[in-house]
Amino acid sequence: MSNVLRVGDYTFQSRLIVGTGKYQTHEIMRDAIQASGTELVTVALRRVNLNNPGEPSLLDFIPKHTRILPNTAGCYTAHEAISVARLAQAAGIGNLVKLEIIGDQDLLWPDPVETLEATKILVREGFTVMVYTTPDPVLAKYLDKAGAHAIMPLGSPIGSGQGVLDVGAVAWFKKRVSVPVIVDAGIGSPQDACLAMESGADAVLINTAIAQAQNPVLMAQAMKLAVEAGRLGFEAGRMPRRLEAAPSSPAAGMIGATQK
């Protein structure tokens, strides 16, 4: 079962979720999505540019088998986020939502109070709610209790590429919540993704690390392999750490040794 991720009623064969922001072109984004093997991509909701209403739709560049996860990025209150979620649903792409409510503009740090409040309401309204949150295990328990369908702690600030600063939090979350734990934000390179997965994350969400790589399509493939390797490593169970060496070759039977 290493490659089945379940979020609410949805099932995904890939444990990598990919963001669609910051690509140089729609074509590069499409090719990166394909190379990543993802089955779930995030999108944002913004006003139509009335001066160029006919510009190509992002959705035309998202492969058909890929499910769309609209985010509430840019929202600062539960009220705003709920409106965006309802609008996204009205746009006709299902009931998934990535709930993201920011409480600090420079850190893009989630607002825990507004996030918990919005989670309760959106769950009640029938959304499948994937919640972007702080790496706080107590808040995670509240979100789980509120009915969140996936809990997504940040690894480090959005777009920073600093990696997963507190990878131990992943294990804390896994012990305390009943739904998938998805590391969202901060992953900068394949080793970060691999480490998050090896630590027990059910999935990772990556945008900037792929979109802003020198070769986004190649990086998408690298992330796919890193996520798979990390997951397999987690399932295999790593060896215990030791403070000192333990030889891999037999200590006995060395030539020239004297029999006593």
Partner 1 sequence: MRLIINGESRDLQDVRTVKELLDVLGVDHQTVAVMINGEIVGRGDFQKSALETQDAVEIVRFVGGG
Check if the beta carbon of residue 173 is closer than 8 Å to that of residue 205.
no
Q: Which window, 66-74, 121-129, 174-182, 221-229, contacts partner 1 (CB under 8 A)?
A: 66-74
In angstroms, the first-to-last Cα distance of the chain is 54
Name residues contacting partner 1, limited to 214-243 (CB under 8 A): none
Q: Does 126 bind partner 1 (CB under 8 A)?
A: no
Of the pair 32, 146, the CB lying nearest partner 1 is at 32
**Is 87 a binder of partner 1 (CB under 8 A)?**
yes
Alpha-carbon distances, residue 224 vs 16, 219, 243 (angstroms):
7, 8, 33
Three-point CA angle 67, 236, 227, nearest 5°: 30
Q: Could you give the C-alpha distances from 175 to 15, 119, 179, 180, in angstroms and in order?
A: 19, 21, 10, 11
Window 171-190: residues binding partner 1 (CB under 8 A): 185
Q: Which of 5, 7, 20, 196 binds partner 1 (CB under 8 A)?
A: 20
Closest C-alpha to 123, from 103, 144, 94, 93? 144
64 included as an active-site residue: no
Residue in 24, 31, 25, 2 with CA at minimum distance from that of residue 14 = 2
Told to check if 64 binds partner 1 by CB under 8 A, we report: no
- The interface with partner 1 within residues 143-172 (CB under 8 A) comprises 158-159
Contact between 22 and partner 1 per CB under 8 A = yes
> Which residues in this chain contact partner 1 in the complex, by CB under 8 A?
19-23, 29, 42-48, 50, 53-54, 57-59, 68, 70-71, 73, 83, 86-88, 90-93, 158-159, 185, 205, 207-208
